[in-house]
Structures are given as C-alpha cells and as structure tokens.
Amino acid sequence: MRLLEEQDARALAEATARQPWKVVQVQAKPATRRPVAPFTTSTLQQEANRKLRLPARQTMRIAQSLYENGFITYMRTDSVHLSEQAVAAARHCVEETFGADYLSPKVRQYNTRSRNAQEAHEAIRPAGERFRTPQETGLDDVERSLYELIWMRTVACQMADARLTLLTVQLEAGEARFRAAGKRIDFAGFFRAYVEGSDDPGAALESKEVLLPTLKEGDQPGCRAVEAVDHQTQPPARFSEAALVQRLEAEGVGRPSTYASIISTVCDRGYARLEANALNPTFTAFAVTALLEERFPDLVDTGFTARMEGTLDKISQGRVQWLPYLKQFYCGEKGLEAQVFHQEQSIDSATFRTVALEQLPCVVRIGKFGAYLETDHDGQNVKANLPPEMTPADLSPERVRELYQNRLAGPEALGVDPETGESIYLLTGQYGPYVQRGEVASDQPKPKRASLPREIQPENITIAQALDLLRLPRLLGDHPQGGRVEAGLGRFGPYVVWHKGKGERDYRSIKGEDELLTVSLERALELLAMPKPGRGKRTPLRELGPHPADGEPVAVFSGAYGPYVKHGKLNCSLPEGKTAEDVTMEEAVTLLAAKAEAKGAGKAAGTTARKRVAKATKKAAAGTRTGATTAKTTKARRTTRPRRAANPSAP
C-alpha cells in the first residue's frame, strides 16, 4: 500500500479500466448496536445542538419551561438512571408504538461514567407514570421538537438491540486491489425510534444501509469506469456547541448546569462568534488567551480547573474546610492576589493587545472600538479598521490589501446632498455600516450619521435612501388624540413614536414586513394601538371552573417556579409531581384554603411582632430620655479606650 501522486493515480485508473476484474474475497460479519443512555443535561445540550441546531442557552431555557409546565423531569442532572416508574412507562410506549418484538427482553439500566457526577436526580425523561406522546402534549415549534427528542431517547433506551451485517468485498484488477464496504440492517430495533447524532459526518451514517450487489468469490464483474479522486487532509473542524460541551465534560471542567452559561459568556464577551453552528474565535480571544497563557499558565490550565472542581465537591461534602482553601487560593504566597500584583507591574498592554498572524504584511491590534490593522506605508503609520464580524479565519493577504487600498483611497461618496452640497459617504464602524453627511474635521461639529436598518444592505443602498436615513426622525402626521407621530431609528432598531405632549411618549418597534422608510401614518396608528409586549392579560394553562364559595374563576397558570392555581388575588403552587392536566377542582380548593389559612396566620404573627417592636421602641425611647447624662459620660469614656475588634477572637 502506498500514497499516489495525481499523475500516478490517473495512470492507474486508465490501466485498471482495461483490466479484467475479479472478486477475491467476500466477508459478512454480524454486528449489534445497543441504544444509548437516556439524557443528562450534558447529552441533551449536545443532541439539541446537533439535531435541532439549538444553542445550549436556548436548550436549557426551553427545557426549564417544559419542566415548569410538567412535561419533563428536572433538567439539571448528571444521572442516567431511570426510576421503576419511568422504566415501566417507557416499556409500555415501546409495546404500544412499535410492538412487542421491539421491546428489550430485559430492563435496561445505565451507569453514569462522567467525572465528578452528582446524581441527585434521575435522567431527563417525560414526566408522569405514562409518557405522553409528542402529539398529545399540544406543544408547538421548538418546545415540541425538544420534548420529542427527550421522548424518543427515553423510549429507545428500553428497545431491543439493532442487528446488522457488515459486508466487505475485495476485488483485483491487474496488480491493484480495491475494497468496497457495505452494511445491511437485519433488524432495526431501537433504530426505529432514535439514532444518536454525531459531529463526525461519517459516524452519522450509523443507521443507514449501504447495500452491495450480491457477489461471491470468483465472480468477474464488468467495469464501467474508474475515477481518480483527489483527497486532501483537512484541518480539525472548529468546535460546535455540542463538541465543546462534550470536551468540557471530558476534561471535568464545569457542571452540566454551567455549560450553557460558559458558552454564552464566551460569545457575549466577544471571544467567539457562532457561524454555521461553529464557534469561530475572534481577535480578542487570541489576545486574551496569549496574555493568560504567558502570565497565568496554571490558572488557565484545564487540569487546574478540574482539580478545583474536585476540591469544591469535597467542600460540599464537608471533607475540606472552605475558608482555609479560599484564603490559600486568593491570599497565599502564590495566591491570585500576589500573582496579579507581581504581573501587573510588568505587563505591556501594547504587546498583549497585538495579534501577529502568519503570512500577513501587518499586525492586528485590539483597540477601544475593536480590532484594526497597522503597518508602515511609504514611511507613514497606516491603520485600517476591521469589520466587527471579521475573525482571524476570514483575514487573508488579499483581504488585507483590499482594506488598505480602501483606507488610502478614502471612502467612496454615494452622491451629494442637494440641500447642503455635502458629499454622502457609506462607512463601516464598530456597530456596522452607516451613512455620513460630510467629512470629519477637527474644527467642525461632528457630521450627521445614521445606521443602516436591517432591510437595507450596504451594497444596495441608494443616495435617496441615504438622504432619507439622514433626515430621520421622519414626521408621519398628527395623532387623532393629539400630538404627532414620527418614525425613527434607535439603539434597538426602527420604531414609531407618539409624542403626546409634556414630554410623554409612547413607542412601538417596527418589525416583520413593515419598513422604516415606507411605514405610513395609518400603519403607525395600528402599531401604537397594540398592547406592549408582556403587558397583556396572562393566558391560563387550564381553567378549572368557578370556585364553589364565591363563583370566581379558578385557573392554572405557568409561573417562574412552576404551575400554580389562581383564585382572585390568591396564588398557590402545585405540589411536586402535579401537572396542570392532573389537578382537579377539589384539590385546587383544598390547596387555596390551606394557603389562605397560612397567610392569615402569618398576618396575625406579623401583627404580634409589630406590637412587640413598637413596645420595645417606646421603652428604648423612654430610657434614652432618662439616661441622657449617663450616655454622655459613657461616650466620654469610650473616647479614651481603643475600639474593640469585630471578631470576638481578635485582640
């Protein structure tokens, strides 16, 4: 076996195309595939990213909503264990949906393998003694998709193994030998319900058949064509959120409940940009990483972080004292405080905010308003701003030359404002493209600028649109109830505003098909008549009916801490395990009565406490009046004595 150059490969293809072909070996090897364990927090984030393209933060937000509304069990867990109730429900779903042949002969239980696992809860699964199918939930969009993912994975873990036959055929043509591989699925088993996703495209073919023609040794199949295919080694793929979560878990960094916040922090602080489901590092990430790795190598080592996680676990278990550990970490001889003090004296900010990339005729520096290029041109120091969305992966020598040419030539004018005679320029700044009237001059006021709304692309903007943007806000007309209505562009996008008078204003965002430069007064009045988002009446999950005591409605709502029943101004959370669909009117009335009684007792206790405080205050006031002379004497004595330390054990 040897690697072929392009010329050799093409010559071999031409030679073998004329040779007779012969089957020299046929192998058929049976294989089985077992279903994977039910979801933990980590694996749920990974699969939701691979299959639904959901960021980890959105996955956890949706899972939180599903948990609060009683659709799934607690979604922050390291455990892959299922309760007897869950196993029975899953096995019932298999028989009911796929038939008894697809049911695993034995109950499957899985062992947790993750490092430092905290198994306070069972695996993530559909809630209840009977698993509702996705169709029965009434959920829509991504909530239903995520629930369906959890439902399928939980059901699949109690299904039978998939049985496969792996096929391999070897053929000879002259001195060359070729091999073809195939796969036949003899029994789909759990493949009928679920196949785990993968970041490797090759591994994603696990559940797909690759059938080969029926061949046996000695056969001489005809050759239609032989093709020489170029193959080049590709660099490792960038981390997706799923791959990063998998790596964090393998390294023992963080906890399942913190993976989403870790990734969100990395993106929110500008260390990476999410592009096509891949995390692309920015120039800021390069600079910060270089600084930390050179000056604080121990603190940014994944091994250190994993060891700290282990120590924190021991603290939570009472095996290590937390105060001595934190004192040593922050204030020890080699603690964080000492390291920062020694390092900050020698850190050169100009050095560490410079990113040198190979094969580029310049350096990249990180400034207050983003990254920019810097080089010497004809004895002058020339700088060129980089677009905010550009990352190191996008910067090539050709792109550098283009940016410098644009910088040296100056911005291209779109046209001239007929009212002022000044040129209108299209520029790109820290927050994206914008138009500007006139040029910047040190002795002149700052020129008028306006950002481009989302519906106008920089390459398509016209001089008329640029002038309209620079004239914003745009007067639409008078409001029927008084005041004027305008359209403008603000920090959070385009909007319409009703100036009611005396400084009072009412805003609505312009979204959907409406456009800033074309929205009419009639449409603006319609938008202003709509209620502001989040201020309308809440919709109940379920209405139970009138209360037997006063006839007022009793309903179940979704809250921040789970479902609750509401009667008038009285709210009461549902007990753990109860869902909006399970609770009855009788149970709701009992819960509300208990809450009202507890609330009344609390008020009575509060009244008694207030009386005691008032009595003590009155007594203290009387003591103050009668002991004024004593207080003055005590104060005089205290001035001659040192103040006692707050810590009783201190000298």
Phi-psi label, residue 415: left if phi above 0, alpha if psi -120 to 50, beta otherwise: left
Cα separation, 82 vs 161, whole angstroms: 19
Cα separation, 166 vs 31, whole angstroms: 7
| Other C-beta atoms lying within 10 Å of the C-beta of residue 302 | 13
E-assigned strand segments in 114-194:
162-173, 176-187
Q: Edge-to-edge strands of the sheet including 413-416?
A: 413-416, 423-429, 432-437, 449-451
C-beta of residue 54 within 8 angstroms of C-beta of residue 146? yes
**What is the dihedral sign for C-alpha 613, 614, 616, 620?**
positive
Taking the mean position of all CA atoms in its chain, how far away is CA 134? Answer: 24
Residues ≥6 apart with Cβ < 8 Å to 648: none
The DSSP annotation for 582-625 comes to T--HHHHHHHHHHHHHHHHHHHHHHHHHHHHHHHHHHHHHHHHH
Tokens of 576: 């753990």
Q: How many residues does the chain have?
A: 651
Select which of 67, 74, 110, 325 is catalytic: 74
The helix/strand/coil state of 350 is helix
Question: What letter does residue 73 receive in the DSSP assignment?
Answer: S
Residues ≥6 apart with Cβ < 8 Å to 593: none
C-beta of residue 545 within 8 angstroms of C-beta of residue 553? yes
Tokens of 630: 């004593």
Q: Which amino acid is at 161?
A: D
C-beta of residue 385 within 8 angstroms of C-beta of residue 370? yes
Cα separation, 171 vs 516, whole angstroms: 67
C-beta of residue 568 within 8 angstroms of C-beta of residue 595? no
Cα separation, 645 vs 582, whole angstroms: 58
Taking the mean position of all CA atoms in its chain, how far away is CA 191? Answer: 29
Taking the mean position of all CA atoms in its chain, how far away is CA 49? Answer: 9
Tokens of 11: 């010559």
Cα separation, 566 vs 545, whole angstroms: 11
C-beta of residue 257 within 8 angstroms of C-beta of residue 76? yes
Q: Which amino acid is at 211?
A: L
Cα separation, 362 vs 181, whole angstroms: 50
- Tell me, yes or no, if 431 is annotated catalytic: no
SS3 track for 515-548: CCCCCCHHHHHHHHHCCCCCCCCCCCCEEEEECC
Say whether the peptide bond before residue 458 is cis (omega within 30 degrees of 0).
no
Residues designated catalytic: 74
